[in-house]
Structure 1
Amino acid sequence: MNPSHTTTHDIIIIGAGSVGLPAAFYASKAGYHVLVIDQEASVGQQSNKKAIGGIRATHSDPAKIRLCQRSLEIFSTWQSVYGDSIEWAQGGYCFVAYRSEEENTLKQLLEKQKQYQLNIDWLPARELLEVVPDLNPAGLHGGTYSPKDGSASPLKMAAAFYDHSARQGVQFRFSERVLEITQVSGRVTGVRTDKGNYAAPIVINAAGAQARQIAALVGEDLPIFPDSHEAAVTEPVAPFLKPMIVDIRPMPGSSNFYFYQHVTGQLLFCLTPSPQIWGTDSRETSSFLPQVASRMIQVMPRLKHIRVRRTWRGLYPMTPDGFPIVGWSRNTEGFLHLAGMCGQGFMLGPALGELTTRILTQQLSPDDQETLSYMEPIRAFTSQEVLQ
């Protein structure tokens, strides 16, 4: 495209990932002419590509609970509504407790989770072993189990959002780097990239780990800091495990880890490093696999014979309190933040896409208003999401 030529749109979305794609899909369904710009060569090539696919509504705050309840509805019905296989599986989530500290934390969270009609219960060790027989029974106190949670393929979901968005008229510009958010008198007028100029009265920042740099183009300093996490996948084996297993015990070098068996038979697993590894380094390390393997085998001894096929490393765009940043800029009219997903963009994305359209059309419900109050860009960032 000739850089001097300008195309005009209703909305420009920066980022074609787990959040930007649903936002484009639902905005176009509502009748908006949408352009999506991404610096990568195709959709979902940053955090979306590195996600392992877990989806749960069992959070500790009303905002994420509501959003993920809706996302679960979208994921679970996507194939019947739109016809795409996204490898959806309703295996549930299981947070295990091998110490009194984790038992108390999980039981305290249950009270709030039950207020939002979440299907989750505390199961003592004997009952939990009936659900997950391969858990190590030694020292097991029990755990919470939420059978309606599940998993899906981030790449297939991204492809589905892309295909349907394109059919609805959404335009995509790949391999383009945003250089400027153009403005007139504090009002967004569009975007300039290294390949072209695009006009729109609304620009949405859904740039994932690069969201802070995009916000800086309008003079805002979003507290979003990339944090490196590693994950891995094993060889496929016969089905034996349904729920995602999560162990939130802090241990030297890690604060928690989680794993599940994919519908293809492979096990996918990830570990949260402690202290956090800030920065954008996405090279795999030699320390991850021995560290996470030790924890996994301790919780489920039968895993010691499964061979690992591949490891990788991705970025979690973290905020100080663990909540996303969603809302209009206070400085630049027409600039909407949709960023800081803290590694949960895949599960939050579909519901956030719908919510974004309600923001644009000014059709927010009282529940929407409460949800957005947890995520507003200007806040103290002092509270903490317990199950990050």
Structure 2
Amino acid sequence: MSKSYDAVVIGAGSVGTPTAMYLASGGLSVLCLDGNASAGQGSNKCAIGGIRATHSEPAKVRLCLDSISIFSTWRDSEGDDIGWLRGGYTYVAYDQGIADLLKKILPVQRSAGLDIDWADPDKIASIVPGIRREGLLGGTWSPGDGSASPMESACAFCRKARRAGAEFRFGEAVTGMEIRGNRVAAVVTGSGRYPCGWVVNCSGSRAREVAGMAGAEVQVDPDCHEAGVTEAVERFFTPMVVDIRSIPGSANYYFYQHTTGQVVFCITPDPPIQGICTRETSEFLPLVAKRMVGLLPRLANLKVRRTWRGTYPQTPDGSPLIGRVGPENHIAALGMCGQGFMLGPGTGALVSRLITGTMRPGDSEVLAAFDPARRFGGGEALK
């Protein structure tokens, strides 16, 4: 007879691994299934490591503040060095429309608990030495944001989950679910059948496919983004620098200097490149390099060591889907829109509280904002 679990988590990535960790730490018997060889081997390993609570959606601000609390205290509480660096985030403005947008959402961000302010050009120049001053109107500065290593974090969360009793089965992609009445009775892979009390779907870019196994429909469609990393050099700036000006070929780009001294960077293609292809392109590096050097000329002589491509599971409004969908015991934690790494620990803790009935004040409001059945409209201004 197959062993039964209180919860089966589908996906051992940026969201699934901390979800398994929090559920197991809450006393539940947990099985986490993933088709890859180890934790964090899907989209997680393509993340560049940025962790920000600087969003325009208040619920996302709150959830990422929870994540930052976890990342920033991990070494002291658990002993693992996950590469946390509180370097801050700055969104720079070179045209009045962007400056007005960034200033407009400041009250919303502050009301959600974010430490953020408008910085004049002199302040931005002190935060990012050598930034192009011509046309610089200022920008926002969020000193509490930061970065960490996606792979070190995934491994650390996996180790703690196992210490708490969670089981992980790698190389086992989910192939189906058994439905009885309005519940998922068991999760099925090519190697076994696993009866369960709850299913938490953290399947990333497989969201539509896996939700469909439960008879549920979710509006998640992946697109492709490319990133790169330079050689290591002595530190010359600290924050993640984000430029949301749109030009032909790209909607925005962003970069920061890692704890190792390497500069890590990414760009958002415009129009989006739909699908799950992870082959690098020849267009990416010339496009992003020109934009980065134009903003911070000191980058010009750095050698790029490698580039890579990953997927962003997108929703229509740029916010995740978290909560019940389809069968009454099927919980979605999907559609992170490329922000799964920064949202993951906060999401895992939230899902655990939902399942164990230990909700905190404010949790219901966050779940309402991310309800998979919500009516999509507008969009997150700082996707």
- 1:383 deviates by 2.5
User: Which residue of the partner structure matches residue 334 of structure 1?
Assistant: 329
User: Which residue of the partner structure matches residue 264 of structure 2?
Assistant: 268
Question: d(CA) in 1 for partners of 2:116 and 2:94?
Answer: 19
1:140-155 to 2 correspondences below 5 Å:
140-155=136-151
- 1:42 deviates by 0.8
Matching residue within 56, 61, 69 for 2:57: 61
Letter in 2 for 1:288: F
CA contact (8 A) 1:39 1:176 kept: yes
1:172 and 2:165 matched: no
Matching residue within 222, 231, 240 for 2:227: 231
Question: d(CA) in 1 for partners of 2:347 and 2:180?
Answer: 29
Question: d(CA) in 2 for partners of 1:185 and 1:130?
Answer: 61
Matching residue within 74, 78, 81 for 1:78: 74
User: Which residue of the partner structure matches residue 358 of structure 2?
Assistant: 363
CA contact (8 A) 2:50 2:146 kept: yes
- 1:73 deviates by 0.8
- 1:364 deviates by 2.2
- 1:223 deviates by 0.8
Backbone CA RMSD of aligned residues: 0.9
CA contact (8 A) 2:176 2:188 kept: yes
Matching residue within 354, 377, 382 for 1:382: 377
Tell me the secondary structure at the aligned position of residue 3 of structure 2: strand
- 1:39 deviates by 0.7
1:122-271 to 2 correspondences below 5 Å:
122-271=118-267
Question: d(CA) in 1 for partners of 2:360 and 2:6?
Answer: 23
Matching residue within 280, 298, 315 for 2:311: 315
> May I ask how many residue pairs the two structures share in their alignment?
383
- Residues 164-192 of structure 1 deviation map (CA, whole Å, 9 limit, x = unaligned): 11111111111112111112122111111
- 1:265 deviates by 0.3
Query: Which sections of structure 2, spanning at least 5 residues, go unmatched?
Result: none
Percent of residue pairs bearing the same amino acid type: 49
1:343 and 2:332 matched: no
Question: d(CA) in 1 for partners of 2:214 and 2:286?
Answer: 43
Letter in 1 for 2:123: E
Question: d(CA) in 1 for partners of 2:317 and 2:199?
Answer: 25
- Residues 97-154 of structure 1 deviation map (CA, whole Å, 9 limit, x = unaligned): 0111111111111121121232111111122112212111111111111111100000
Question: d(CA) in 2 for partners of 1:169 and 1:29?
Answer: 8
Larger deviation: 375-384 or 24-33?
A: 375-384
CA contact (8 A) 2:92 2:243 kept: yes
Question: d(CA) in 1 for partners of 2:165 and 2:350?
Answer: 20
Matching residue within 286, 298, 303 for 1:302: 298
CA contact (8 A) 1:37 1:176 kept: yes
CA contact (8 A) 1:190 1:202 kept: no
CA contact (8 A) 1:27 1:34 kept: yes
Question: d(CA) in 2 for partners of 1:123 and 1:23?
Answer: 37
User: Which residue of the partner structure matches residue 281 of structure 1?
Assistant: 277
User: Which residue of the partner structure matches residue 347 of structure 2?
Assistant: 352
Query: Which sections of structure 1, spanning at least 5 residues, go unmatched?
Result: none
Question: d(CA) in 2 for partners of 1:218 and 1:164?
Answer: 29
TM-score normalised over the length of structure 1 = 0.97
TM-score normalised over the length of structure 2 = 0.98
CA contact (8 A) 2:184 2:214 kept: no
- 1:366 deviates by 3.9
- 1:201 deviates by 1.7
Letter in 2 for 1:96: V
